[in-house]
Structure 1
Amino acid sequence: MNSNSFKQVGVWIDHSKAHFVGFNDGNTVLIETLESPFESMKREVGEGSDKTRFSSSNEHSSNNEHKKHNISQKELNEYFKMMETKLHSFDDILLFGPGVAKEQMRNRLRENKSFDGKWLSVQTSDKLTDNQLLAFVRDFYINANPDFKSV
């Protein structure tokens, strides 16, 4: 099955990857996994510490820290853009996962006018196996629509 046959999707998301799970007629399928270009602890080969020359304290960090922060924000922005393009074809979107990435993605989707008519929901979950991902999305959409009768 391709992602075009689904109108409801559950996305388990954190800053390192996202798993897209499609839901249709009581069936769930793992559509794809998207790896993030975002690296939280990036260190260049031969790079010195972030401390300033005159202080060994972490309070006095160099401008290198500011540069690293900007790079990580650009990588995170790129990751969310890739997710937006993949989510355009879905009408109902469930974002779930362990961290704050799901809220960051929800806020970004709400700011995007092309997602105005779409239904968004955010749930908290731990790290899940593939079977647990499928069950989580299935249970959520079946419970969200009490008229749905699973066969």
Structure 2
Amino acid sequence: MNKTNNKLGIWMDHSNANLINLDSNKEMHSISSKFTSETKEDALHRSESLMHNKRQQMQEKFYKQIGSEILKFKHVLLFGPTNAKVELHNYLNKDLHFKNIKIDIESSGKMTDNEQVAFVKKHF
């Protein structure tokens, strides 16, 4: 696959990821985890272990979706308020497809879309 895009910023928490591609006209798009609070409530009513399994499956699906976007880039910045960025990084580290992609991790708080874009521009 030809990597035409060089840099991608991803602001994320456990439920959403905003992908910020500075090389694109459509600067930002989002990926959302399917593990919503309703799913959590529903699974919790059945059993705690079911809820954890469900969460893990959905988190993995969420990370896999983000990962498929990351594969198109050479340099990626993961940032956001939760440890989701570290979990994603650990998930990607297990997969050799990502070994040639430089991944930076930075902490940040909640941000508006414009602040996220500015953060990515400043980083790169």
Q: TM-score, normalized by length of structure 2?
A: 0.86
Q: Deviations over 1:27-85 (max 9, x none)?
A: 996331111112356223xx85x7xxxxxxxxxxxxx1111111111111111111111
Determine which structure has more spread, i.e. the larger CA radius of gyration: 1
**1:68-83 aligned within 5 A:** 68-83=51-66
Among 25, 41, 44, the alignment partner of 1:43 is 41
Q: Is there any run of 5+ residues in structure 2 with no aligned partner, and where? A: none
| Paired-residue identity, % | 28
More helix by share: 2
Q: Deviations over 1:79-99 (max 9, x none)?
A: 111111111100000000000
What is residue 70 of structure 2 aligned with on the other side?
Answer: 87
Aligned residues: 121
What is residue 106 of structure 1 aligned with on the other side?
Answer: 89
Q: TM-score, normalized by length of structure 1?
A: 0.72
Runs of 4+ displaced beyond 6 Å: none
What is residue 11 of structure 1 aligned with on the other side?
Answer: 10
Among 106, 119, 122, the alignment partner of 1:123 is 106
The alignment partner of 2:97 has SS state of helix
What is residue 138 of structure 1 aligned with on the other side?
Answer: 121
Q: Deviations over 1:98-123 (max 9, x none)?
A: 00100001111111101111111000
- Over the aligned positions, Cα root-mean-square deviation in angstroms equals 2.4
